[in-house]
Amino acid sequence: MKWKVSFYDRRVMDTIQEWPCGVKAKFIWIVDLIEELGPEEIGMPHIKPMKKGLFKIRASGCEGIGRAFFCIKKGHSIVILSGFIKKTQKTPQTEIDRARKRMEEIINE
C-alpha cells in the first residue's frame, strides 16, 4: 500500500522549496521512497527515528545538509512538520520542540 506525504502547512513547504537544489533533490528522492515503500523500509541513513513518534529525514547535498521532521498519522499518512538547513553539528533544540508541538497538534486533531 502506498503512503501519502503531506506538509503541516504552506510555510513548511515553502521553507523546503527554498533549500539549495542538491539538498532539495535528495529530500524529494527520500519522500518518493517513503511514498513507495514506507518509512520503516528505508531507515538510516535517510530516516532517523527520534523519540516518541517523531522521525527525521536526513537530506544532504554538496551545498549543505537539510533536516525535516515528520510524524505518522493513522493509516499510511505522513505529515512533514518542519524543515531547516543545518548550520551546526547538533540539531537545534528549538527545531525539535517546534516539531514535537506540531506533532501533538496533528495527533490530537
Per-residue model confidence as pLDDT tens digits over 36-75: 998 888 988 999 999 889 999 999 988 999 999 999 988 8
Mean per-residue pLDDT, 4-31:
96
Q: Over 90: is that where the pLDDT of 89 sits? A: no
Query: pLDDT-derived band of residue 109, with 50, 70 and 90 as boundaries?
Result: confident
Task: Considering only CA atoms, give the Rg of the chain.
Answer: 13
Q: What does pTM read for this prediction?
A: 0.92
| Structural domains present in the chain | 4-108 (3.30.2310.20)
Question: Given this model, what pLDDT does residue 108 score?
Answer: 83
- Strand, coil or helix: 86: coil
- For the segment 27-39, the average pLDDT, to the nearest whole number, is 94
77: which residues sit within 8 A by CB, 6+ positions away? 3, 4, 6
- Residue 75 Rama label (left phi>0; alpha psi -120 to 50; beta): left
